[in-house]
Amino acid sequence: MKRFLLLFIICFLVHSCARVGSPVGGPKDTLAPRFLSSNIDTTRINVKRDIRELRLDFDEYVTLKDINKNLIISPPIKGITRILPSNIANRFVLIQWTDTLQANTTYNFNFGNSIVDNNESNVLRYFNFAFSTGDKLDDLYISGEVKDALDTKKKAAASAENKLVVGLYQVKDTMDYKKKPYYITKVDEDGYYELNYLTPGKYKIIAFEDENGNSMYDPGKEKVGFQKDPINVEKSISGLNLKVYPSKKPVKYVEMKEIAGGVLMTFEGNPEDVKVQSLNEKLKDVKITHNPKSDSVRIWFDAVKDDVGQTANEKLIFTHNKGPKKDSAYSVSLFYKYNKKNAMDVFSDNGGSSLAPKSDLKIASNYIVDKIDPSKWTLNIKGDSLNVLPFNAKISETNPYQIQIQSDFIPGKSYELTVPKETVSSFFTKNTQSKRFDFDVAKVDQFGSVEFSISNAPTANYWIQLVDSSDKIAYQKYLKGDKVKFDILQPGEYIVRILVDNNGNKYWDEADFANDIFAEDAYIFYKKVIVRALWETREDWDLKDTRTLDSPKSPTAAPASTSVPAPSSTSTTQLPAESATTKQLLKKEFKSGNAVLTPAK
């Protein structure tokens, strides 16, 4: 028994000694890499112009994250040939180039958030490195905030990339805006920017959404904001804030293609007027339609009657006047073949089978509607074909493809409208089939309304728009005044914006940077409007209220909206310098200890 007990104790001790325990680690590394030194003298002045590389040493292994998107060099250095590390972590960052540097110039390498440690991916935020080929390091700066004037979305997540940049062009006799700005910097996720190490002088400032990452503004493709007057940088500037707007596209011919009824000619930009002429022997009788500011021109003709493209592709030639030289005719062509499936047709244009109360029934065509013969149409309550109801029908004044039918529609009832063939006409054809449209009229208690009282309302006409969750315009009105009411609205949340028609051309004009033309005025209500069934919502909106969408309420906030049961019958801004300076100091705290910087002003 004693032997058995002794053997058990020995086995237990051996087993205990053989167990492998998990090592207890220290605290997780949360520190960003620390900059140690560079190949450039610590004074960073009088750097030789023929230097061909910059090397930065760190206290741990680092990698570069999205370096091509993050690294901005101001002024630009041409001929970048190598950037390390690429795939393997290293204790240094190396940039090599072939360009000869400019004399008496301060260069700033802004790495953004691209430098991270290899183990925990801790980011070295807002890292800059500057040096000068002259006898001093320029230390002027411009800082501020950039906002999207028409942003109808909530603030993006912190991880989302902000593509906005701010740049400075040197004011010269000839300024080429097709090149990169002389100075450029990224806008951070909070909308804040800093242009550092600036040389005194006059500059043109621009903010734009650098969608393709080429550090150059692309008109018509990227949003833009700017100041008309040059900035005289003699001392540092804080609180220079900008708003970006959609930009105007240069007018440019794109293509032609066959469509129902003829040919479609498309352009980039929004031409005010396009003159088109047929150079085809067969096509003498053509009709050209183009709405001012539309990018599409339609050329209508009777392909069957004129025997065009009936059996094989046939080359058609047209001229237009939208090219680089004014008052010149530019010839374009296509190979056209008639498509029998593209016959004229009519279809419902109500966005669903139910019609909102007090609304017109809308039907549309794939051809422009030239004439209608509603005397042959019939409107009945469903199931009562003997009782023909009175109605009025007309071609829409704003949409020539649409027909509006007005009648005393009763909520809760179901109707049917019959449109016989050949009662809707275009220029050279008529609808080939008879159509019946079945629809219900919704009850009033399924809808709500909203009324706005607008302080500091525009003196010009304006559009007020309700934008739904899919970023589409659900409702809009074009009017003038300080009172606006929307009746019969689908319940839901809407973003509200105002676009002002400052020049009265019934088109909201975008920004034109090359010609120093600002976008027309625009405003977004600082909160979403909630529409509830059988409720009237009232909102007070002061257009001088600078709060942004979904911003926190402040002590000076406008009164909250009120909702009551509906009756049963139913450009550049300048903020105080202290604000921007405070944020600038906070940003510089992140940078301190990583690179030698000028003191915060």
For 287-299, what is each residue's pLDDT tens digit? 999 999 999 999 9
Peptide bond into 85 cis (omega under 30): yes
Closest residue by Cα to residue 215 from 71, 313, 321: 71
Of all residues in the chain, what percent carry a pLDDT higher than 90? 72
CB 463 within 8 A of CB 432: no
pLDDT bucket at 363, cuts 50 / 70 / 90: very high
Dihedrals phi, psi of 125, to nearest 5 degrees: -80, 145
CB 33 within 8 A of CB 62: yes
Residues 6+ apart with CB under 8 A from 472: none
pLDDT of residue 27: 65
CB 277 within 8 A of CB 329: yes
Mean pLDDT for 132-145 is 95
In DSSP terms, 129 is beta-bridged to 109
Q: In whole angstroms, what is the distance from residue 419 CA to residue 403 CA?
A: 12
pLDDT of residue 594: 34
Count Cβ atoms below 10 Å from residue 266 Cβ, excluding itself: 13
Q: Is 37 helix (H, G, I), strand (E, B) or coil?
A: strand
As a dihedral over the C-alpha atoms of residue 508, residue 514, residue 516, residue 519, rounded to 10 degrees, the angle is 20
How many H helices and E strands in the chain? 3, 43
Q: Is 548 helix (H, G, I), strand (E, B) or coil?
A: coil
In this predicted structure, which of 155-169, 238-252, 488-502 has the lowest mean pLDDT? Answer: 155-169
Q: Which two tokens stand for residue 390?
A: 């009175």
pLDDT of residue 22: 36
The amino acid present at 539, given as its one-letter code, is: E
Does pTM top 0.75 for this prediction? yes
CB 208 within 8 A of CB 223: yes
For 154-199, what is each residue's pLDDT tens digit? 554 444 568 899 999 999 877 788 889 999 999 988 899 999 999 9
pLDDT of residue 509: 95
396 has pLDDT over 90:
yes
Match 């140690």 to its residue by tokens: 36
Mean pLDDT for 418-434 is 96
